[in-house]
Amino acid sequence: MKLAYWMYAGPAHIGTLRVASSFRNVHAIMHAPLGDDYFNVMRSTSERERDFTPVTASVVDRHVLARGSQEKVINNISRKDEEQHPDLIVSTPTCTSSILQEDLQNFVDRASLSSESDVIPADVNYHRVNEPQAADRTLEQITRFYLDRALKRSSLDRSVTNSPSANIIGIFTLGFHNQHDCRELKRLPGESGILVNQVIPEGGSLKYLKDLPRAWFNTVPYREVGLMTATFLEKEYGMPYISITPMGISNTADFIAQIEKLVNVWSSALSEKRLNYESYVDNQTKFVSQAAWFSKSIDCQNLAGKEAVIFGDATHAASITKILVKEMGIRVSCSGTYCKHDAERFNEQVQGLCDEVIVTEDHTEVGDTIARIEPSAIFGTQMERHIGKRIDIPCGVISSPVHIQNFPPGYRPFLGYEGTNQIADLIYNSFNLGMEDHLLDVSGGHDTKGVSTKSLSTDRRDINWTPEAESEPKGIPGFVRGRARKNTEIFAKRNNISEITIDVMYAAREKSSS
Amino acid sequence: MKTLEIPTFECETGNYHTFCPISCVAWLYQKIEDSFSLVVGTKTRGYFLQSAPGVMIFAEPRYAMAESEEGDISAQLNDQKELERICVRVKNDRNPSVIIRIGTCTTEIIKMDLEGIAPKLEKQLGIPIVVARANGLDHAFTQGEDTVLAATTHRCPEYNHRTTNEHEEDVAKDIAVDVTPSNKCNKLFDGRSKSNKYNLVLFGSLPSSVASQLNLESRRQSVSVSGWLPSQKYTELPALGEGVYVCGVNPFLSRTATTPMRRRKCRLIGAPFPIGPDGTRAWIEKICSVFGVKTDGLEERENQIWKNLSDYLEIVTGKSVFFMGDNLLEISLARFLIRCGMVVYEVGIPYMDRRYQAAELLLLQHTCEEMKKPMPRIVEKPDNYSQVQRMHELQPDLAITGMAHANPLEARDIDTKWSVEFTFAQIHGSTNARDALELVTRPLRRRSDSILGCRSLSRQAVNV
């Protein structure tokens, strides 16, 4: 047993549900007790999703404990099949079903006899993997299922597209700025004549999955999700893939160089003209992205040598570390990730860029590290933002887990050339805020502070507040406290009450119509 | 219009969305200041606590997960030793007066003997350990509080009504508490305190300001509340025993209601719940009638409150509501809204205790008759999918629903109010009637200036 207050990565089934609900017309049925369907809440609020989340629970209750699920899971699958005609139903195990050790495969086999939809059980072990790993696995599983079937039915079109094209793998729901990144990613090769064959799983349709191998190559923008699918496609269908995250100027240039290399292999075979992106990259770097200019400008000069701590998932933490150190001249005292399963690769990526590396899932360890280092700014998850708040250090949020404010309606990619602009803003604002606060403290603070705390009711001295009543407004939120107090005093005056007790306060509240 | 009906109950499949009952730690740890809640279970529950009660997790809350790992499930590790290790750490870090240990589905399935382990650990640590099984196998959302309070009932000190000394002290305390005795009040109080040896304990966790408002409400009728379960501090739990009357303030506390009756020989006052001015009045009237106290000025007071609500009533009158059901407050809220002039189509509710809620149901029926509104259909263990279908047909003006459905329904042009807000907002007592209506009317007020006349903003076709 482990004492835990907070976790960076969620349980396995969340990963499966995120992949399943990202595809079009796929329904997930969880084998779980009442209340475990909070994934629907997360998706509907954080993503501000307009449509019902295609996830239901086959509820585990006392009867299931006593007699097993028997027909229940099967009935729930058939019912969903009739009601909503999904293309695929993913039977999703949770911690509960893994302890009960019910044979989901058997349920699935039986249910698929009668249902129009395809039915598969998510092959995910609750105790062994976490949310991103499960997502990675489920995506591969679904892809493999449809490609294998197409192969069997020999409906697989193995010819590559006429003009160069790519698949984007790993964009999905509740991913950190995934929607914006996707738009930026489509633009990146698109501007240089490479088509996007498919994006999976977000918005992907299962019936087109069989056309995945028609792309010339795959791109996996995030390390956490999509690598398994890409390696599967490489092994079985000989598709090369790019696993460089195009985040920051140099990474983006590397990414495009990779595209160039992969496409040119084919174009020489097709005896077409070779692609050369040098001038494209040059132009983008100098003029579309402001980041190169920004790092040269005097603003960024002021940041030189300032200290920062970075923590997040492996993709974002490693990329941001590289950007801070190589592109902005900021000193990264510590860089870390909670993706323990990917620790080796993370170490490799940030080696030589930072003073120390931490790989941990324990937020108190991260907090202690930050407190010890006392950097000028933190770049981390929502947890680090709160740590920063507590010790007065500004924080830019660069990775999941995140809150609703990290799903902005405005265009905020982290990838590609527009991404470099966004990141420059984020970094500059974080440091600058800290600086401004510091300067204010040095010069004695904002002059408006004194005014705002002053009571607005002028003749307070006529009215007496009993100690109990005095302490009561503490139960009222700060921003309405002043008004509540004023209303009470007006009420007291009108009724010739000279002492305000708790009773008077409530009476005033009942009378007031605001 | 059908007006005279006995309530009919339906029961559906139980495929509905609600919060896991362990969410009660989010408000109970705030209420009981010296407690520490330890949820024993898997990552699934921990992730729920962190993503649902959201921001509170960052404020160094006094709750944590004892996260079961593979070794715990397969019994390679010894439950008692593991829990001991964790409780010792909690004791050293936070030094609470009580550890509330919440069992989850996991502990149920692997049959971890939390109740058996607790007394042994209690002896070792010297801290009381209260065990509550708030799991999704048996309970929904607010019922979590019910399991915790029922378990806490056993820890209340014994009330001894025969000791005259103590009783005199009690009376003295009552008078001392009464900080603003109006003359009339005092007279009544003096006259009755000796003849009526009533001792009233209210149960249900409310923010302290709401609790003191209800205290005031009953003191106005010269019935003083002798204690609350839970109290602000674990060390101040009220005394229970023969001669003590208990009364609930929330509709989801059926276990807590039976425990003092059956185990502590208390008498239960079955009253409607003090939600809305009508509910508050009925609640206080019932309490007074049990003690034989003649109520004074209740009707004027209620009318006054209604008068102050007139601007909100104008908005809601004639509008229709659909409760999808997830927190058990539904019957009381429906009754209040019908009294406000609304039409309630359906009251979904996770679990309906007809005995504990009897008075509330009766009041609902009377309210329907009086307001000449049809009796809503009450659906236990609702099926959310069917409910959404029904809603497409009925097109209610307002759906009171969980967050999983709120945004999708809004996109389909059905205004919603997020139901969980009712459990966290202050809605009890006459004083807070305005707040309750503030919540209900919020989507309706916003309605009048809808943007660009957009009707539906959903991409999915509605198939009825």
pLDDT tens digits, B421-438: 899 889 999 989 999 999
The predicted model gives A301-321 an average pLDDT of: 93
CA dist A252 → A230, A234, A257, A280, B7 (Å): 20, 23, 9, 12, 66
The predicted model gives B24-28 an average pLDDT of: 90
Q: What's at A306, amino acid-wise?
A: K
Residues 6+ apart with CB under 8 A from A504: A469, A488, A491, A492, A497
More confident residue, A3 or B180: A3
The greatest distance separating any two alpha carbons of chain A, rounded to the nearest whole angstrom, comes to 97
The predicted model gives B381-404 an average pLDDT of: 94
- Residue bearing tokens 């920051």: A248
Query: Is the separation of the CB atoms in B379 and B11 below 8 Å?
Result: yes
Question: What domains, with CATH codes, occur in chain A?
Answer: 12-129 (3.40.50.1980), 165-272 (3.40.50.1980), 292-443 (3.40.50.1980), 464-513 (1.10.8.550)
Q: In the 3-class helix/strand/coil scheme, how is B47-99 assigned residue by residue?
A: HHHHHCCHHHHHCCCCEEEEECCHHHHCCCCCHHHHHHHHHHHHHHHHCCCEE
What SS3 class is residue A212? helix
Question: What is the value of ipTM here, to two decimals?
Answer: 0.86
The predicted structure's pLDDT at residue A503? 83
Cβ neighbours of A4 in B, within 8 Å? 46, 64-67
pLDDT tens digits, B325-348: 999 999 999 999 999 999 999 999
Alpha carbons within 13 angstroms on the beta-carbon side of residue A84 total: 25
Size of interface A-B (CB pairs under 8 A): 190
Structure tokens at A292: 């190169």
Question: What domains, with CATH codes, occur in chain B?
Answer: 21-139 (3.40.50.1980), 196-291 (3.40.50.1980), 298-449 (3.40.50.1980)
Q: What's at A432, amino acid-wise?
A: N
Is A503 a catalytic site residue?
no
User: Distance (Å) from the C-alpha of residue A127 to the closest C-alpha of chain B?
Assistant: 6
The greatest distance separating any two alpha carbons of chain B, rounded to the nearest whole angstrom, comes to 73
| CB-CB neighbours of A230 under 10 Å | 24
Candidates B64, B249, B67, B60; CA nearest to B149 is: B249
Are B69 and A1 in contact (CB < 8 Å)? yes
Cβ neighbours of A126 in B, within 8 Å? 42
**Angle (CA) B142 B147 B150, round 5°:** 125
Q: What's at B81, amino acid-wise?
A: K
Put simply, the chain B residues between 113 and 132 with a CB less than 8 A from any chain A CB are: none
Residue A435 annotated as binding site: yes
Q: What's the distance, Cα to Cα, between the start and end of chain B in Å?
A: 26
Q: Is the peptide bond before A201 cis (omega within 30 degrees of 0)?
A: yes
Q: What percent of chain B has pLDDT over 70?
A: 85
pLDDT tens digits, B123-176: 999 999 999 999 989 999 999 999 999 999 999 999 876 554 444 444 444 443
Closest Cβ opposite residue A468 in set B179, B305, B311: B179
Q: Is the peptide bond before A401 cis (omega within 30 degrees of 0)?
A: yes
User: Distance (Å) from the C-alpha of residue A466 to the closest C-alpha of chain B?
Assistant: 10
CA dist A363 → A3, A312, B58 (Å): 12, 11, 11
The predicted model gives B357-377 an average pLDDT of: 95
Burial class (CB in 10 A: 0-12, 13-18, 19+), A458: exposed
- The arrangement of strands across the sheet holding A88-93 comes to A55-59, A26-32, A88-93, A118-121
Structure tokens at B279: 């509910």
Residue A136 annotated as binding site: no
Query: Which of the residues A109, A282, A299, A503 is marked catalytic?
Result: A299
Cβ neighbours of B61 in A, within 8 Å? 5
Q: Is beta strand A2-4 parallel, antiparallel or unpaired with respect to B63-67?
A: antiparallel
The predicted model gives B267-275 an average pLDDT of: 96
pLDDT tens digits, B214-264: 999 999 898 989 999 999 999 999 999 998 999 999 999 999 999 999 999
CA dist A76 → A31, A56, A206, A373, B463 (Å): 10, 9, 22, 54, 20
The band of B59, judged by pLDDT with boundaries at 50, 70 and 90, is low
* DSSP conformational letter for B158: B
**Angle (CA) A226 A232 A234, round 5°:** 100
Alpha carbons within 13 angstroms on the beta-carbon side of residue A450 total: 4
pLDDT tens digits, B302-324: 999 999 999 999 999 999 999 99
Residue A462 annotated as binding site: no
Cβ neighbours of B458 in A, within 8 Å? 50-51
Are A511 and B407 in contact (CB < 8 Å)? no
CA gap A292, A424 in Å, rounded:
10
The predicted structure's pLDDT at residue B176? 39
* DSSP conformational letter for B274: S
pLDDT tens digits, A267-295: 766 666 777 888 888 989 988 899 888 88
User: Measured between CB atoms, does B14 come within 8 Å of chain A?
Assistant: yes
